[in-house]
Amino acid sequence: MSGKNSDHTSDVTKNIEEPISKELKMIMWQMWIDMHLARYFEERVQWLFSKGLVHGTTHLGIGEEATAAGTIAAMKSQDYVFGTHRGHSQAIAKGIDVKYMMAEILARKTGVCKGKGGSMHIADPDIHYFGADGVLGASAVMCVGTALATRKRKEEDRISVVFFGDGTSNEGATWEAMNLAAVWELPVLFVCVNNTYGMSTPIKDVMKDTDIAKRAYPFGMPAKTVDGNNVLEVYHASVEAREYVASGKGPMLLVENTYRISGHSKSDGNLYRTKEEIESWKEKCPIKAFRKYLVENELFTEEELDKAAKTAADEIEQAEEFAKASPEPSFDDLMNDVYA
């Protein structure tokens, strides 16, 4: 756990302007739903995995839901978003229907990638989500490319966002991407979801200075660190970051400190951390904190929030039914997407 992380609290009242506009309230509602969809989706995937119904592997980000929900809520629908391999929450926030996502995870023809990609490659270019990439660092360089394209086309109000983890912040490609985006002043928002562990390795073992934000400075790029478990803080920082990036001043780095409650992948035995540590972070659950804020500030009632959560749970259940009822892809289609 980074020292920097401890500088932040989960006090969701911090930095919130009064009065809350109707528009912001709607965004909060959306974030509430997205976080629940992500949480329930991943819990369901975990369950299906343990039942042997998920082929391959899957990387869950339970506990990290606020980073994706908060950042993507601050983006515009035309923005390009590159997710991570731990990207279910990012895909949901970007707008991929959980039905097609669940079908993809169960390797069905109706999956968002026709069953050819799986959990690690969930993407939907139609809604400008370039998805999860299995090799770390590549998303950052490709994100520079989409930003380059928007600049060439003079699309002023369109930025490119790339999510990556604390681990990937050590990849050379990430640094090359930051340098190139910075020197070409491209509209790229680098979002580092610092969940404290690269797989099993705590960041303090692989970084002399765990303040990842500092890594932007040599490239002449601003950075900001936020409490990634505080969805409103993430949201507001992201709004500001987007404004900066879209203004043509070049890229920016946003570091969102959080914690992965689930294991790295489904084969994770959690041998590298203590139960106490995991339990302490469960207390700092971003959903719990958000509920407390929403209720205490009388933005929504407990009943309304429960109802929304229930609707999300139902949606996941329906997604599972849809996926299970879907056919597997046919061999006829196998070779179709190798070449355009």
- Which residues are at the interface with other proteins (CB under 8 A)? 80, 111-117, 121, 123-126, 130-131, 133-135, 137-138, 140-150, 152, 160, 172-173, 176-177, 179-180, 183, 336-340
User: Considering beta carbons, is residue 63 or 329 the nearer one to other proteins?
Assistant: 329
Write down the least CB distance from residue 156 to other proteins, Å.
Answer: 15
User: Considering beta carbons, is residue 130 or 259 the nearer one to other proteins?
Assistant: 130
Write down the least CB distance from residue 94 to other proteins, Å.
Answer: 14
Write down the least CB distance from residue 95 to other proteins, Å.
Answer: 14
User: Considering beta carbons, is residue 131 or 286 the nearer one to other proteins?
Assistant: 131
Strand partners, 202: 197
User: Considering beta carbons, is residue 167 or 228 the nearer one to other proteins?
Assistant: 167
Query: Rounded to an integer, what distance in angstroms lies between the CA atom of residue 243 and that of residue 237?
Result: 10
252-257 vs 223-227, strand pairing mode:
parallel
Write down the least CB distance from residue 86 to other proteins, Å.
Answer: 16
User: Considering beta carbons, is residue 67 or 150 the nearer one to other proteins?
Assistant: 150
Strand partners, 223: 253
Reduced DSSP (H G I as helix, E B as strand, rest coil) percent helix, strand, coil of the chain, to 5: 50, 10, 40
User: Considering beta carbons, is residue 66 or 252 the nearer one to other proteins?
Assistant: 252
Write down the least CB distance from residue 108 to other proteins, Å.
Answer: 11
Query: Rounded to an integer, what distance in angstroms lies between the CA atom of residue 8 and that of residue 128?
Result: 32
Write down the least CB distance from residue 24 to other proteins, Å.
Answer: 30
Strand, coil or helix: what is 137?
coil
Cis geometry, peptide bond prior to residue 218 (ω within 30 degrees of 0) = no
User: Considering beta carbons, is residue 331 or 339 the nearer one to other proteins?
Assistant: 339
Do residues 181 and 250 touch, judged by C-beta distance below 8 A? yes
Instruction: Report the amino acid identity of residue 84.
Output: T
Q: CA separation (Å) from 145 to 27, 74, 152, 164, 185?
A: 29, 22, 10, 16, 12
User: Considering beta carbons, is residue 69 or 101 the nearer one to other proteins?
Assistant: 101
In 132-263 the beta strands, taken as DSSP E runs, fall at: 160-165, 188-194, 197-198, 201-202, 223-227, 252-257
Write down the least CB distance from residue 265 to other proteins, Å.
Answer: 18
Write out the H or E segment, with its range, that includes residue 80: strand 80-82
Q: At what angle do helices 65-73 and 231-244 cross, to 10 degrees?
A: 40
Do residues 73 and 290 touch, judged by C-beta distance below 8 A? no
Write down the least CB distance from residue 19 to other proteins, Å.
Answer: 39
Do residues 92 and 68 touch, judged by C-beta distance below 8 A? yes
Write down the least CB distance from residue 327 to other proteins, Å.
Answer: 15
Strand, coil or helix: what is 107?
coil
For 80, the token pair is 């390009």
User: Considering beta carbons, is residue 98 or 294 the nearer one to other proteins?
Assistant: 98
